[in-house]
Structure 1
Amino acid sequence: MKVLFIGDSITRGTQSVDWIKMIEKDHPYWTMDNVAANGETLTKLSERLKTHLQQNSDYHAVVLQTITNDILLPTFKHRGFWFRQAYRYQIKSGNVPAAPPVFEALLRQTVDYVQKHYNIQLILTTLGCINENLLAETNAKLFSYNSIVKKVAKEMNCILADVSEDFQYHLNKGQTQDYCADDFANTAFLDLISCNIGMADKLSQKRKLHLTIDGVHLNSKGAQIFKEKIETAVLLTKEKSLLFI
């Protein structure tokens, strides 16, 4: 089984617990290419996916994870100096956030392109949360984007890995913190270093978070949800295509 993973920092795994490595541990005979990149919106991801498949299309499945920065990046405009600088840099780099109608059109175009040109099963993922406080404005927006992903997956014959359902279940069980990548130095540098030395769960405990280290990026529990949902979707791909490793 050969799988391509493309997405933002949630999939890249350098600033959180890496759920792809968790899948690799349980499925050592699968070949998994992770080409995710921190900070990317669907606009950039769509372009990179097309370019990558033009160069290498030997995959049974593509896992496409997005949404995060289409919601999170616009909030940077209303924060401190360094957040605003990061926003300008990302825009110049081609990471333009897409409002829901544009996001849906672009997601449909991306799915249509892959399905027309390649014999590859697409797996689309919802997103867990942007702030563990489910009443936060960012999560109201997230509901709209997740609904789009679900609708596109259903209407365009993609497999859906719905992590949002499990996140809501766990976050509704107890008291949650209103925390969403609050400090630029932590978001840009320090959290990445901490995660690389295995301190992700300690960051969560320090900030009294349940599934993430900062309201967005995953701790072990959040990564386990992603791992199980994506793993199930890939196994379904394998079953549908009658491919055996």
Structure 2
Amino acid sequence: MKIGLIGDSLTEGRPGVSFVNILKENYPKITFDNLGKPGETVKSLHTRLTKIKLDYDLIFLWIGVNDVYSKLLRVQAQPVANNPEEFEEYYNKVLELVIASSKQVVTVSPAIVGETSQNEFNKEIKNLSSIIQSLSKNHVNVSFLDMHSVFEIHLSRVTSSDYISIKVMRVMLDVLFYKNPTSIDRLSKKRGLHFTLDGIHLNSTGAALVADEYSTMIDRLLFNDHKSIQ
């Protein structure tokens, strides 16, 4: 049984803690292909997918956060969608490619840009999530996972700082010097954050949260465990 994990640096697991490694430990009999790429946007992902051939039992498609977050950076590694209409156009193209490559697909909404859920960036994330959900409803073999709402619920229970890394060099330094969960969680706490290292990328708590949501979908779609859905 093979699962493909398509996404950006959150899926790759750098910087921050990898939720994919948690899945690999929890499902030793499943092959997980980590297809995450740092800085990936919906437009750059479309270009990448047209050049590779995929074949999976289940694909998780987690893309979109960089179409908001990378606009805050001084250097944009990949082209971003200029508006919601362009995002919808390219996401639909990506989804069609993914559907043709897997028996089942889970579209995952972008999570957060900053742990202040009501900031302007997360309002944009919420809009993109609605677009993804709407497109997903058009396909019988596509399930939607609202990761933004998952984080929003958990953020409502804590008080986080508004820290967001907006300097590319700072992100690069985090990749180089904070590689193990202990040091990542320590820096996260120092920054006043609960689920991320820098407002975007996951710490141990955030990675466990994502892994749990992915596991719920895996159990339901591949093992018919409907009891795991509340």
Residues 62, 109 of structure 2: 8 Å contact kept: yes
Deviation at 1:32, TM superposition (A): 0.7
Distance of 2:39 and 2:58 partners within structure 1 = 23
Aligned to 1:15: 15
Is 1:107 paired with 2:102? no
Residue correspondence of structure 1 range 138-177 to structure 2 within 5 A: 138-157=121-140, 158-177=142-161
SS in 1 for 2:50: helix
1:149-186 deviation per Cα after TM superposition (whole angstroms, max 9, x unaligned): 11122222311222222211111123221111144432
Distance 1:105 1:191, change over 3 A: same
What is the aligned counterpart of 1:60 among 57, 64, 83?
57
1:88-131 deviation per Cα after TM superposition (whole angstroms, max 9, x unaligned): xx2xxxx211121111121112222343x445311111122101
Deviation at 1:28, TM superposition (A): 0.6
TM-score by length of 2: 0.89
Q: Which amino acid in the other structure matches residue 61 of structure 1?
A: L
What is the aligned counterpart of 2:198 among 214, 226, 230?
214
Distance 1:155 1:181, change over 3 A: same
Residue correspondence of structure 1 range 1-245 to structure 2 within 5 A: 1-53=1-53, 57-76=54-73, 83=74, 86-87=75-76, 90=77, 95-98=78-81, 99-115=83-99, 117-157=100-140, 158-187=142-171, 189-198=172-181, 199-239=183-223
1:164-218 deviation per Cα after TM superposition (whole angstroms, max 9, x unaligned): 222111111232211111444321x221124323321111111010110111000
Residues 107, 145 of structure 2: 8 Å contact kept: yes
Q: Which amino acid in the other structure matches residue 68 of structure 2?
A: I
Deviation at 1:236, TM superposition (A): 2.5
Residues 180, 215 of structure 1: 8 Å contact kept: yes
Distance 1:114 1:204, change over 3 A: closer
Distance of 1:119 and 1:163 partners within structure 2 = 21
Aligned length: 221
Residues 163, 198 of structure 2: 8 Å contact kept: yes
Distance 1:239 1:50, change over 3 A: farther
**Percent identity over paired residues:** 28
TM-score by length of 1: 0.84
For structure 1, which segment, 154-163 or 27-36, has the greater mean C-alpha deviation from structure 2 after superposition?
Answer: 154-163
For structure 1, which segment, 211-220 or 169-178, has the greater mean C-alpha deviation from structure 2 after superposition?
Answer: 169-178
1:13-69 deviation per Cα after TM superposition (whole angstroms, max 9, x unaligned): 02111000000001011001112110111111122223222xxx3310111111111
Give unpaired runs (5+ residues) of structure 1: 77-82, 241-245
Distance of 2:195 and 2:213 partners within structure 1 = 15
Q: Considering fraction of residues, name the structure with more strand.
A: 2
Distance of 1:124 and 1:97 partners within structure 2 = 19
Residues 62, 122 of structure 1: 8 Å contact kept: yes
Distance 1:163 1:109, change over 3 A: same
Residues 162, 229 of structure 1: 8 Å contact kept: no
Distance of 1:119 and 1:190 partners within structure 2 = 36
CA-based RMSD of the aligned residues comes to 1.7
Distance 1:22 1:167, change over 3 A: same
Q: Considering fraction of residues, name the structure with more helix.
A: 1
Residues 62, 121 of structure 1: 8 Å contact kept: yes
Distance 1:133 1:114, change over 3 A: closer
